[in-house]
Amino acid sequence: MVEAGPPAAPNGPPVARVDRVLRGAAQVLFFLTGIAFFGYLSRYYLTGAGGPTLLAVTAVPLTVCLVFLNDLRHGALYPRLGSVAPFVIALLYCGVALYAAWYLYREFDEIRIYRLGIWNATDLAVGGAVAALVLEYTRRRYFALFLLNVALILYAVYGFLVPGMFHHPGMDWTRIVSAVSVEMTTGVFERLPQLGLTLIGSFILVLAVLRAFGCIDSILTGSSRVALHSPRTLPQAAVFGSFAVAAVSGSGAANAATTGSATIPVLIKAGFPRVTAAAVETASSLGGQLMPPLMGIAAFLMADYMGKSYFDVVARGFAPAMIYFLGVAFAVWLLAARHHTRAVTPDVRAMRFMDWTNILSYLIAVGGLIYLMGVERRPAMASAQTVFLYLFGFLTVAFAVRSVHARVWSLRELTRPFLRLIESFATVTGELTILLATLGILTAMFTITGVPTKVGVLLMEGAAINLFVMVLVAFAFGYLIGMGLPVAPTYIVTAIVVAPFMIRAGLDPWVVHFFIFLVAVFGELSPPTSVTAAVTSRIADAPFVRTMLAAVVLCMPLLVMMGAVFSRPDLVVEPGWAQLPAFALVLIGTLALSFALQGRFHPRRALDLPMRIGLAGIASATIFHPDASVAALFAAPTLLLTLAGAWRFRRLPR
Q: Is the pLDDT assigned to residue 562 strictly greater than 70?
A: yes
| Distance of alpha carbon 551 from alpha carbon 558, whole angstroms | 11
Helix axes 310-338, 628-649, angle to 10 degrees: 40
Counting every residue written for the chain, the total comes to 654
406-416 per-position pLDDT tens digit? 777 777 788 88
Query: Rounded to whole angstroms, what are the CA distances from 144 to 140, 195, 485, 579?
Result: 10, 23, 7, 38
Q: Evaluate whether residue 14 is within a structural domain.
A: no
Mean pLDDT on 453-478: 73
User: Among 441, 458, 492, where does a domain finish?
Assistant: 441
Q: Quote the pLDDT of residue 305.
A: 84
| Distance of alpha carbon 34 from alpha carbon 62, whole angstroms | 9
Total of domains in the chain: 2
| Same-domain status, 208 and 353 | yes
Q: Evaluate whether residue 628 is within a structural domain.
A: yes
Mean pLDDT on 256-269: 74
> Hey, what amino acid is at 97?
A
DSSP structure class, residue 185: S
The torsion angles phi and psi of 516, rounded to 5 degrees, stand at -65, -40
- Listed as own residue / partner, the contacts of 306-313 with beta carbons closer than 8 Å and 24 or more positions apart are 306/509, 306/510, 306/513, 309/373, 309/379, 309/380, 310/199, 310/373, 310/380, 311/373, 311/374, 311/377, 311/380, 312/575
* Buried residues in 489-510 as b, exposed as e (16+ CB within 10 A): bbbbbbbbbbbbbbeebebbbb
Which range, of 311-325, 390-404, 449-463, 578-592, averages the lowest pLDDT?
449-463
pTM listed for this prediction: 0.79
DSSP structure class, residue 485: S
Mean of all residue pLDDT scores within the chain: 83
Q: Evaluate whether residue 44 is within a structural domain.
A: no
Please name which of 633, 522, 598 lies closest in space to residue 327, comparing C-alpha atoms. 598
Q: Quote the pLDDT of residue 258.
A: 64
Q: Quote the pLDDT of residue 68.
A: 95
Q: Is the pLDDT assigned to residue 459 strictly greater than 90?
A: no
DSSP structure class, residue 466: -
**Cα–chain-centroid distance for residue 633?**
38
Q: Quote the pLDDT of residue 541.
A: 83
184-206 per-position pLDDT tens digit? 888 899 888 998 898 888 888 88
| Distance of alpha carbon 284 from alpha carbon 260, whole angstroms | 10
User: Among 413, 441, 469, where does a domain finish?
Assistant: 441
54-97 per-position pLDDT tens digit? 999 999 999 999 999 999 998 889 988 888 899 999 999 999 99
User: Among 441, 468, 496, where does a domain finish?
Assistant: 441
| Distance of alpha carbon 502 from alpha carbon 516, whole angstroms | 11
Please name which of 288, 292, 297 lies closest in space to residue 373, comparing C-alpha atoms. 292
Which range, of 57-61, 91-95, 262-266, 474-478, averages the lowest pLDDT?
262-266
* CA–CA–CA angle 453, 313, 207 (5° rounding): 115
Q: Between these two residues, 270 and 275, which has the higher pLDDT value?
A: 275
Q: Evaluate whether residue 265 is within a structural domain.
A: yes
Q: Evaluate whether residue 549 is within a structural domain.
A: no
Coil, strand or helix at 537: helix
Q: Quote the pLDDT of residue 66.
A: 95
593-652 per-position pLDDT tens digit? 999 998 888 888 888 888 999 999 999 999 998 888 899 999 999 999 999 888 888 766
Q: What is the largest CA-CA distance in the chain?
A: 103
Please name which of 284, 289, 256, 248 lies closest in space to residue 490, comparing C-alpha atoms. 289
| Distance of alpha carbon 447 from alpha carbon 71, whole angstroms | 32
Please name which of 518, 531, 444, 535 lies closest in space to residue 483, comparing C-alpha atoms. 531
Q: Evaluate whether residue 237 is within a structural domain.
A: yes
| Distance of alpha carbon 85 from alpha carbon 80, whole angstroms | 10
Please name which of 136, 124, 133 lies closest in space to residue 182, comparing C-alpha atoms. 124
104-126 per-position pLDDT tens digit? 999 999 998 888 888 999 999 99
| Same-domain status, 434 and 582 | no
Q: Is the pLDDT assigned to residue 515 strictly greater than 80?
A: yes
CB-based contact 290:324 (threshold 8 Å) = yes
Q: Is the pLDDT assigned to residue 130 strictly greater than 80?
A: yes
Residue 602 belongs to what domain range?
578-649
Q: Evaluate whether residue 548 is within a structural domain.
A: no
Q: Evaluate whether residue 222 is within a structural domain.
A: yes
**Cα–chain-centroid distance for residue 80?**
30
Q: Quote the pLDDT of residue 185.
A: 84
